[in-house]
Each structure stands twice: as C-alpha cells, then as structure tokens.
C-alpha cells in the first residue's frame, strides 16, 4: 500500500514518513500543494496525509476541489487547529479522518492503515496457499504451522502477491505498491527481496518467476 505525506515541516514529515515506512507502507513526500498535486496526478495512492495549513494554502480547500473532481482517495488531516468547528470543516470539505497535533505516532499509523484498507481489494483476513497462511490483519505468516519472521518489506511483497493468487504480478506493480519514489526502477531491489523471501518460505517453492513479466504466488499442488 502506498501513502503520500504532505507536510511543510521537514522534521515532522520525515518522522511521519519513517513511521509509516516502518509499518510496511510505501511512502512518498511533498512539502506543498503543487508538489502534492503533481504526485497525485502520476501515482495512485491508498491514502494521503495532509497538514491543514501549508505555505501554499489550506489543504482542506484543495481536498474540496479534489472531491469535486471525483477523486476518492482517503484523506487524513493533521493540524494544530483543534476546535469542533475546525474538525467539522475538515470532514465537510472531504476529509475522512482528522488528527490533532501533537499526536501519538502509533495512533497515526493505525489510522492511516485503516484508511488504506478502504481502497484495498476485498479479501479474507487470512489467505492460504500451499500450506502458507498469511494473516493480513495480524501481519503474520505461517507455513505448515510454523511462524516465519519476515521484514516489513517482505510481508508487503508477499501480501501484494497474495491478493492476486495465480496471477502474474508485474515487477513494476510490486515497486509501485511496496516501494516509494526514491527507489530506482531499474535497480535489482525486487529480485533481491524475492530471493530472500523464497528462502524464508522454503520448499516446495510458492513464488514463481514469470519471465519478462514479474512473479506469481501459486500452490505447487
């Protein structure tokens, strides 16, 4: 899942982005509304985190225009404006959630992941494939009952493949869903991670290479 964080305070933006990446999300960053507008034009996000008051204007006005254009990406507002009227205004302009500064980072991560699930393809909370059990809610993976230790990025890739079982998932789709804009598209990050993931999942192999396309999660049975 991929998130855009729009915040002009560099330290706060870095902290929020780092926390979201640490939870397994791919995160892009923007410091103002023009940069956010460009990012939203070229990338499909599962959630956008907007600081309310930016040097380029009130992000609530931007979100109101975005909704008028028919764009439905979930939005969470971060703001120091904490009155009931401010919160009501945020929801009225198209916000889906509202968090007042200062805030607890774990709460922010939980709220963002909840909004991301709104755009996710409907699927059962536990996905099974050839003895593999992926609990997307608890973010745990077992094979033949044995709990596996995966990194957040490994889980993100496996989860993406599991949402499309038996389907060839393009390498570029994996980069878009599991990495952020800082990743070089021509690097070998996907190949290296899939190799690590295969070793952890064990035999018989469940992740298969689709030559010239990407990878597929499929039971050996």
Reply yes or no on whether the pLDDT at 155 is more than 50.
yes
List of residues 6+ apart from 145 with CB closer than 8 A: none
DSSP run (H or E) holding 168: none
- Residue-level pLDDT at 142: 92
Q: Provide, rounded to the nearest whole percent, the portion of the chain with pLDDT above 70.
A: 92
User: At 122, is the pLDDT very low, low, confident or very high (cuts 50, 70, 90)?
Assistant: very low
User: pTM here?
Assistant: 0.62
Asked whether 77 and 85 are in contact (CB, 8 A), the reply is: no
d(CA 188, CA 80): 42
List own/partner pairs for 191-194 with CB under 8 A and 24 or more apart: 193/153, 193/154, 193/157, 194/157
List of residues 6+ apart from 130 with CB closer than 8 A: 204, 206, 218, 219, 220, 221
d(CA 161, CA 180): 18
Asked whether 70 and 96 are in contact (CB, 8 A), the reply is: no
Asked whether 121 and 163 are in contact (CB, 8 A), the reply is: yes
CA-CA-CA-CA torsion sign (212, 213, 215, 220): negative
- 3-state SS, residue 135: strand
pLDDT, tens digit (0-9, with 9 covering 90-100), for 45-97: 889 999 988 988 889 999 999 888 888 889 999 888 777 888 888 888 889 99
What domains can you pick out in the chain, each with its CATH number?
Answer: 2-119 (3.40.50.2300), 126-217 (1.10.10.10)
pLDDT, tens digit (0-9, with 9 covering 90-100), for 9-30: 999 999 999 999 888 888 899 9
User: At 181, is the pLDDT very low, low, confident or very high (cuts 50, 70, 90)?
Assistant: low
List of residues 6+ apart from 70 with CB closer than 8 A: none
């Amino acid at each position: 899942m991929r998130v855009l964080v729009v915040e002009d305070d560099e330290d706060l933006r870095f902290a929020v982005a780092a926390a979201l990446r640490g939870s397994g999300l791919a995160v892009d960053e923007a410091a103002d509304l023009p940069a956010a507008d460009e990012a939203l034009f070229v990338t499909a996000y599962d959630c956008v985190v907007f600081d309310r008051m930016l040097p380029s204007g009130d992000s609530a006005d931007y979100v109101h225009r975005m909704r008028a254009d028919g764009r439905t990406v979930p939005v969470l507002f971060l703001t120091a404006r904490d009155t009931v009227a401010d919160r009501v205004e945020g929801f009225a302009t198209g916000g889906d959630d509202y968090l007042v500064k200062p805030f607890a980072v774990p709460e922010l991560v939980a709220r963002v992941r909840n909004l991301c699930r709104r755009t996710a393809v409907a699927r059962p909370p536990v996905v099974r494939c050839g003895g593999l059990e992926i609990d997307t809610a608890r973010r745990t993976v077992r094979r033949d009952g044995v709990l596996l230790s995966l990194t957040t990025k490994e889980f993100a890739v496996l989860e993406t493949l599991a949402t499309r079982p038996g389907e060839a998932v393009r390498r570029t789709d994996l980069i878009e869903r599991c990495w952020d804009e800082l990743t070089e598209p021509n690097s070998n990050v996907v190949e290296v991670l899939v190799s690590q993931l295969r070793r952890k999942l064990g035999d018989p192999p469940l992740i298969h290479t689709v030559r010239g396309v990407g990878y597929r999660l499929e039971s050996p049975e």
